[in-house]
Amino acid sequence: MSRKHILAVVIVAVLTLTVGGWALSTLFAGPPSNPPQSNKPAQHTDLNWTFPIENEPATPLPDFRPLVSELMPSVVSVTSEMVVSTLFGEYADHVAGSGIVIDDKGYIATNNHVVEDARSIYIELTDGRIFPADTVGTDSLSDLAVIRIDATDLPYAYWGNSSSLSLGEWVLAIGNALGEGITATEGIISRLNVSVNVDGNTLYGLIQTTAAINPGNSGGPLVNMSGEVIGINSVKIVASEVEGIGYAISSDEARPIIEDLIRYGHVTYPWLGVSVSSVTPLLAASENLSVDRGALIVEIVADSPAEDAGLRAGDVIIHFADTEVSNLADLVQAIRSSEVGEEVEIVFIRGQDTKTTSVQLTERLTP
């Protein structure tokens, strides 16, 4: 390197070290004797600020231990043996689920998909006892079933009123998660009166919860903080981007179905005899409907109560009995709340006109 280049490097180094005024003396002689200071307080400071004092202690999270100890003996593990047919023959497969003891005579409520077409069913109690179970009745439309074991004086769960639930309310899900035995998970009520399509069948009046519902939880109870069953765990959304979305059949929906299964072995549903779609603003525009809510009749079944009442495809049902109908779910639940043989009034829209008719519902047996 030439002497000119060396001199240039030295000059650059000196300039760099002297940038900032007293930076060079700081590097070689310690802190400056008179560093720059400011006696002015920052614009938004408050010398007298302190943390607010809470007048009352924070509300603690609920203690689930009493609920768990009280309810676990009434929740059972269900193991169903299924026969699976393949091109290479048949083999036995086992499905794990849960159930709720609902009285001291051995009746147990569970999901239809846990026991449907089972060759044999076994129940394990929390005390380790194992019993074979018989099927009392199943209902594929509601995904509910009742089975029974030959045992008495069993601890059983009390049924609650799901119509009194509120969003954000604490709940507990208990069941045979992953077939590993009875466990409990906590969560809150996220949504109410939800409809979910499962393999082509729509379940109505569901409770959405953040309580973890895993395979094997199906048929177990969702309970409130009073220890009452307010739902039967049934469905969860399974996707890589989904977390904490599970559904339970509400106790108010399940109660009459369970009663019918125990009394008659099947569920009798009132039948109108129509295929319908929910009316939305988009559907109303595309079909040139005069209303943007209701249940649009797509098809009328021949010789059905709907045909006898003079209803036609293209009519929009807006009122059924005492229920205002805004969509398909409203109509289905209104029909299911009626009685076989009951005569109800239906208000519907045909073109621009509002019309009224009466229909006598007949019986529809579940498949």
> Which residues are designated catalytic?
113, 143, 218
**Cβ atoms of 252 and 132 closer than 8 Å:** no
**Cβ atoms of 293 and 283 closer than 8 Å:** no
Angle at 269 between CA 264 and CA 273, to 5 degrees: 145
Angle at 220 between CA 215 and CA 221, to 5 degrees: 135
Tokens linked to 358: 């009466």
**Cα–Cα nearest to 124, from 176, 184, 177, 178:** 176
Give the residue ranges of DSSP H helices in 265-327: 281-286, 305-308
**Cβ atoms of 55 and 49 closer than 8 Å:** no
Tokens linked to 93: 């497969």
CA 93 to chain CA centroid, Å, is 28
d(CA 218, CA 210): 15
Helix (H) or strand (E) holding 364: strand 362-365
d(CA 239, CA 296): 32
**Cβ atoms of 182 and 192 closer than 8 Å:** no
